[in-house]
């Protein structure tokens, strides 16, 4: 049940409402105050209307999938686990090829490497990137693709809105200069209202556009460096600790985890799937994110 995954987080719900309101407001202004008055006599009105609404539809579809998809929750154990002898358990897990697994004290379960606990979702998420209030969900191994697609289409829609509004505004100014001001006033009453809508949509587009492009860039960097923001922070802290204790260095000093160096395209394919690059733009289910992805069938074998 997809809707069961919707978090009851007030901040997340407010951000969801704000996202949908912003999208529908942009569509209303573009059609009502940009395309119909400025391009009404040409085919451009229908063409821009169709393309703009296609971008918004893809944006909403990606958002819905990112918000409702399982981000990669680590399953909870059916029965309570006994962690009284953690040291011997972890050495047994290492012998069985499960090196790097750890115990989450909140979920009281074993979790694979790169899984982290989310305080909002109250669950451990595989390759957790961050908890995003704009999708009211975590961004993790299984929904990062949809989240990045949502950012991409938000950026495209913002840029498209800006271009259309500026074009319509220039068209209006030209009309006024050419002496059609009276005719214009008859056709579109409430000129100040129109200008107010233009300004609001421009501000909305600039704010959202810059915001999503910065996150989009960060997401791509974290994929091609194979390091989530949480891991970056942990590694930085580890390096700091190592630096401060370098004078009294002991063999048990924490070492930052090292991931396999993979080609950038392979890392991108792990997130976006193994299909054609064109499929990366569509919110469709792709092949499993990693070869030999994490399976939990071995969990009952851990003697816990």
Least CB distance from residue 138 to Zn ion, whole Å? Answer: 3
Report, in Å, the least distance between residue 88 CB and Zn ion: 22
Within 83-122, the residues that bind Zn ion by CB under 5 A are 104, 106-107, 117-118, 120-121
Q: Does residue 168 touch Zn ion according to CB under 5 A?
A: no
Out of 124, 132, 212, 215, point to the residue binding Zn ion (CB under 5 A).
124
Interaction between residue 131 and Zn ion (CB under 5 A)? yes
140: how many CB neighbours lie within 10 A of its CB? Answer: 30
Within 8 A by CB and 6+ apart from 261, the residues are 226
Instruction: Using the minimum distance from each CB to Zn ion, give the nearer residue, 36 or 120.
Output: 120
Q: Whose CA is closest to 115, among 106, 105, 103, 128?
A: 128
Name the minimum Å distance from CB 130 to Zn ion: 8
Among 29, 138, 168, 215, binds Zn ion (CB under 5 A): 138
Would you call 138 a catalytic residue per the annotation? no
Nearest distance in Å: CB 1, Zn ion: 18
Report the nearest approach of Zn ion to the CB of residue 124 (Å): 3
15 binds Zn ion (CB under 5 A): no
Angle at CA of residue 139, ends 145 and 141, nearest 5°: 60
Interstrand relation of 123-125 and 116-118 (parallel, antiparallel or unpaired)? antiparallel
Residues 6+ apart with CB under 8 A from 137: 5, 7, 12, 66, 67, 68, 69, 71, 121, 131, 143
- Residue among 27 and 70 whose Cβ is closer to Zn ion: 70
- Looking at the Cβ atoms of 5 and 242, the one nearer to Zn ion is 5
Angle at 182 between CA 178 and CA 187, to 5 degrees: 110
| Only segment of 30-38, 131-139, 239-247, 269-277 that touches Zn ion (CB under 5 A) | 131-139
Going by C-alpha positions, the residue among 224, 62, 55 that lies closest to residue 144 is 62
Q: At what angle do helices 44-68 and 144-177 cross, to 10 degrees?
A: 150
Tell me the C-alpha distance between 146 and 269, whole Å.
13
Report whether 45 contacts 175 (CB < 8 A).
no
Applying CB under 5 A, the span of 129-137, 177-185, 231-239, 258-266 interacting with Zn ion comes to 129-137
Q: Is the CB of 24 or the CB of 296 nearer to Zn ion?
A: 296
Q: Which of 207, 199, 201, 220 is nearest to 267 (CA)?
A: 220
The smaller minimum CB distance to Zn ion, of residues 29 and 121, is found at 121
Query: How far is residue 107's CA from residue 80's CA, in Å, rounded to a whole number?
Result: 10
Number of residues that bind Zn ion (CB under 5 A): 10
Name the one range near Zn ion by CB under 5 A: 133-141, 221-229, 255-263, 287-295. Answer: 133-141
**Which position among 62, 107, 118, 132 bears the catalytic label?**
132
Which is nearer to Zn ion, 64 or 282 (by Cβ)?
A: 64
220 Cβ partners below 8 Å, 6+ apart?
Answer: 148
CB of 242: closest distance to Zn ion in angstroms?
26
For binding to Zn ion (CB under 5 A), which residues are involved?
104, 106-107, 117-118, 120-121, 124, 131, 138
* Catalytic residue annotation: 132
């Amino acid at each position: 049940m997809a809707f069961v995954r919707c978090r009851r987080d007030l901040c997340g719900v407010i951000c969801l409402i704000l996202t949908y309101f912003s999208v529908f407001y942009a569509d209303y202004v573009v059609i009502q105050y940009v395309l119909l008055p400025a391009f009404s006599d040409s085919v451009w009105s229908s063409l821009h209307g169709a393309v703009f609404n296609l971008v918004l539809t893809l944006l909403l579809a990606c958002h819905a999938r990112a918000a409702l998809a399982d981000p990669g929750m680590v399953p909870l154990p059916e029965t309570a686990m006994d962690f009284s002898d953690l040291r011997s358990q972890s050495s047994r897990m290492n012998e069985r090829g499960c090196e790097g697994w750890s115990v989450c004290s909140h979920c009281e379960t074993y979790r694979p490497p790169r899984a982290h606990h989310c305080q909002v979702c109250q669950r451990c998420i595989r390759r957790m990137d961050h908890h995003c209030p704009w999708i009211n969900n975590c961004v993790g191994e299984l929904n990062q693709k949809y989240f990045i697609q949502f950012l991409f289409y938000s950026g495209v829609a913002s840029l498209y809105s800006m271009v259309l509004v500026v074009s319509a505004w220039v068209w209006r100014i030209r009309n006024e200069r050419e002496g059609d001001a009276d005719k214009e006033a008859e056709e579109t009453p409430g000129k100040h209202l129109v200008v107010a809508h233009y300004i609001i949509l421009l501000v909305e587009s600039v704010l959202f556009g810059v915001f999503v492009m910065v996150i989009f860039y960060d997401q791509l960097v974290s994929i091609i460096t194979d390091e989530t923001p949480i891991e970056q922070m942990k590694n930085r802290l580890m390096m700091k600790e190592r630096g401060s204790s370098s004078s009294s260095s002991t063999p048990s000093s924490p070492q930052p985890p090292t991931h396999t160096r993979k080609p950038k395209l392979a890392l991108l394919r792990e997130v976006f799937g193994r299909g054609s690059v064109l499929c990366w733009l569509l919110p469709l289910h792709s092949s499993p994110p990693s070869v030999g992805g994490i399976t939990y069938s071995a969990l009952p074998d851990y003697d816990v």
